[in-house]
């Protein structure tokens, strides 16, 4: 028997890049609910932000991955974690992967001072400025500022200075990845490492079934996730193109954009038909 597992990015994939709406994916989400397919949100967003979408989408029973693989949060009623180390944090069984935000902030200031490159991080922005960059509501902008494992920032300098920034970041044992709106400074974590852990957990819980993992994303920071699933899905951007992708086999490129493309992929892969 097959057991499907869906790992999904949020911005630009399951939710619209500009409006943050997911109405075009509701039918597909309902299909997955009927088939009891776990949908595991895997985003650069904070725990607090993802919790809001889990409630809106009725995904409270499933784990989620915050801040590009910084941590995994597993509900108490979720899969058994036999053999896996975890802590209880905020009512979740918690598996930490990334560096703490306090240390990331310190590194960010060091990198900024050493490089003399013009960058601006969330830790330097008030709520109004976060709203300006994201178009979030005030409530959601505050939730976005509650970082735990990564520092989003904007690069405001000349493009030819970016390699210097990357070199300084590497020397400090960190990395920078590009998301939909921001660059993200973080430790040696990524979405792929978190996906690997959850795949092992679910395979252990369903050892008599064939686990088939699906990953859905649209951006560079999603590639580690897409590289660690059986069926990678790349969602078309609002620009009408897909993020350039190399080295991934068996990849499904959606024709639809954002949540419409997300639903298209679900119906094609799991529903056995086309969407719309």
CATH of the domain at 172: 3.30.980.20
Residues with active-site annotation: 9
On whether both 7 and 29 belong to a single domain, the answer is yes
Specify the length of the chain in residues. Answer: 276
Boundary (domain end) residue, out of 153, 186, 219: 186
Same domain, 161 and 147: yes
Q: Provide the pLDDT for residue 276.
A: 42
- The confidence score (pLDDT) of residue 272 equals 58
Number of domains in the chain: 2
> Residue 274: its pLDDT value, please?
47
Q: Are residues 107 and 94 in the same domain?
A: no
Residue 128 and residue 137: Cα distance in Å, rounded?
A: 10
Q: How far is CA 93 from CA 40, 54, 55, in A?
A: 15, 16, 18
Long-range contacts of the stretch 198-201 (C-beta < 8 A, 24+): 198/5, 198/7, 198/40, 198/63, 198/65, 198/72, 199/5, 199/228, 199/229, 200/84, 201/74, 201/79, 201/80, 201/81, 201/84
The whole model's pTM is what? 0.94
CA-based torsion, 78, 81, 84, 87: positive or negative: positive
- Give the CA distances from residue 248 to residues 65, 161, 190, 225, 235, in Å, rounded to whole numbers and listed in that order: 22, 30, 17, 11, 14
The pLDDT score that the predictor gives to residue 247 is: 80
Indicate whether 7 and 91 sit together in one domain: yes
Give the bridge partners for 73, in sequence order: 64, 94
CA–CA gap between residue 139 and residue 145 (Å, rounded):
10
pLDDT of residue 249: 81
Which tokens is 231 given? 């069926």
Whether 114 is covered by a domain: the verdict is: yes
Within the chain, strands assigned E span: 2-8, 39-42, 64-66, 71-75, 87-89, 92-96, 119-121, 150-155, 175-178, 183-186, 210-217, 231-236, 252-257
In a domain, 46, yes or no: yes
Residue 275 confidence (pLDDT): 44
Q: Is 201 a member of any domain?
A: no
Distances (CA, A) of 59 to 97, 128, 187, 254: 22, 30, 28, 23
111, containing H or E segment:
helix 101-115
Centroid of chain to Cα 179: 9
Query: Are residues 84 and 105 both part of a single domain?
Result: no
Return the sign of the alpha-carbon dihedral for residues 33, 36, 37, 41: positive
Q: At what angle do helices 101-115 and 162-171 cross, to 10 degrees?
A: 130
Model pLDDT, residue 200:
97
Q: Please give the radius of gyration of the chain, using alpha carbons only, rounded to the nearest integer.
A: 18
Sequential pLDDT tens for the chain (276 residues): 899 999 999 999 999 999 999 999 999 999 999 999 999 999 999 999 999 999 999 999 999 999 999 999 999 999 999 989 999 999 999 999 999 999 999 999 999 999 999 999 999 999 999 999 999 999 999 999 999 999 999 999 999 999 999 999 999 999 999 888 899 999 999 999 999 999 999 999 999 999 999 999 999 999 999 999 999 999 999 999 999 987 888 899 999 999 999 999 999 999 855 444
Expressed as residue numbers, the domain containing 114 is 101-186
| Residues 52, 16 within the same domain | yes
């Amino acid at each position: 028997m097959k057991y499907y597992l869906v790992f999904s990015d949020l911005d630009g994939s399951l939710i619209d890049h500009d409006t943050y709406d997911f109405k075009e994916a509701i039918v597909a989400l309902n299909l997955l609910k009927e088939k009891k397919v776990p949908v595991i949100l895997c985003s650069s967003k904070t725990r607090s932000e993802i919790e809001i979408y889990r409630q809106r989408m009725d995904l409270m029973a499933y784990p989620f991955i915050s801040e590009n693989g910084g941590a995994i949060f597993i509900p108490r009623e979720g899969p058994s974690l036999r053999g896996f180390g975890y802590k209880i944090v905020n009512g979740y069984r918690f598996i930490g992967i990334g560096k703490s935000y306090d240390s990331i902030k310190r590194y960010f200031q060091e990198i900024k001072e050493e490089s003399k490159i013009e960058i601006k991080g969330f830790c330097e922005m008030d709520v109004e400025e976060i709203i300006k960059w994201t178009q979030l509501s005030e409530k959601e902008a505050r939730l976005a500022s509650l970082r735990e494992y990564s520092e989003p920032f904007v690069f405001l300098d000349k493009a030819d200075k970016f390699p210097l920034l990357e070199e300084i970041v590497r020397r400090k044992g960190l990395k920078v990845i590009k998301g939909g709106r921001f660059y993200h400074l973080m430790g040696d974590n990524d979405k792929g490492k978190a996906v690997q852990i959850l795949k092992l957990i679910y395979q252990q819980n369903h050892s008599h079934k064939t686990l088939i993992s699906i990953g859905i994303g649209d951006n560079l920071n999603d590639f580690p996730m897409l590289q660690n699933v059986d069926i990678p899905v790349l969602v078309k951007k609002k620009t009408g193109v897909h993020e350039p992708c190399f080295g991934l086999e068996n990849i499904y490129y959606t024709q639809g954009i954002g949540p419409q493309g997300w639903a298209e992929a679900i119906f094609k892969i799991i529903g056995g038909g086309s969407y719309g």
